Amino acid sequence: MPPKLPPKIRKFPSGCEKRKKQKKLNKLIQSQSGALNKFIIRQPQIPVENQNVGVGILENMEENTNVNATENENLLDAQNMEENANVNATENDNVDVENADNSNNDNGENIDIFDPTIWDSLGSRMIELLATKGPKRDLSIVKGPRDKTTARRFTANLYTRVLSNGEKCDRDWLVYS
């Protein structure tokens, strides 16, 4: 009867095994590099004739001068509109911050400032409004979906924390997204 081997103590590979695995992986990557090139067909670039290029440049320059003139007129109109807007803004200092932010949206979209995915793109007024109101909480979450890696769940109970002295601490900026 062959002798019994002791159970394997290590549950992770040794350094030598890790190096062998890394070498094998690098070798596989090197063998696969350029493998897709045989499936891709590149079209040769067609050379442009030099004679027609000069004519197109002159036409483009004439068009650009006309475009620049209209852009200057548009800029002057925009500056006049901004001055008028500044005068109106100083007259209406008591305007609600939310209404002012909604009127600044030229495209008519309502931006949900409580959505954490757009917090990076918020303007300074929107950030101030968010800081004063605080994020919205969804208290209806009983058991959220499981996290794939750690198998944890989010619940509404996590919005408050019980300290070691028994005091309950409200986590204002905890957001479930």
Does the residue 170 lie in any domain? yes
How far is residue 85's CA from residue 31's CA, in Å, rounded to a whole number?
65
Does the residue 59 lie in any domain? no
Lowest-pLDDT range of 8-12, 82-86, 90-94, 118-122:
90-94
Q: Which residues contact 174 (CB under 8 A, 6 or more apart)?
A: 158, 159
Does the residue 147 lie in any domain? yes
3-state class (DSSP) for residue 168: strand
Does the residue 79 lie in any domain? no
Does the residue 159 lie in any domain? yes
> Looking at residue 92, what is its pLDDT?
45
Instruction: Quickly state the pLDDT bin for 149 (edges 50, 70, 90).
Output: confident
How far is residue 38's CA from residue 31's CA, in Å, rounded to a whole number?
14
The answer on pLDDT for 27 being more than 90 is yes
How far is residue 62's CA from residue 74's CA, in Å, rounded to a whole number?
19
Per-residue pLDDT of 63-78, as tens digits, reads: 555 555 555 565 555 5
Does the residue 144 lie in any domain? yes
The answer on pLDDT for 152 being more than 80 is no
| Cα–Cα distances in angstroms (integers) from residue 165 to residues 76, 156, 162, in the given order | 66, 22, 8
Instruction: Quickly state the pLDDT bin for 120 (edges 50, 70, 90).
Output: confident
Q: Domain of 174?
A: 136-177
The answer on pLDDT for 103 being more than 50 is no
Number of domains, the chain? 1
Does the residue 48 lie in any domain? no
> Looking at residue 42, what is its pLDDT?
74
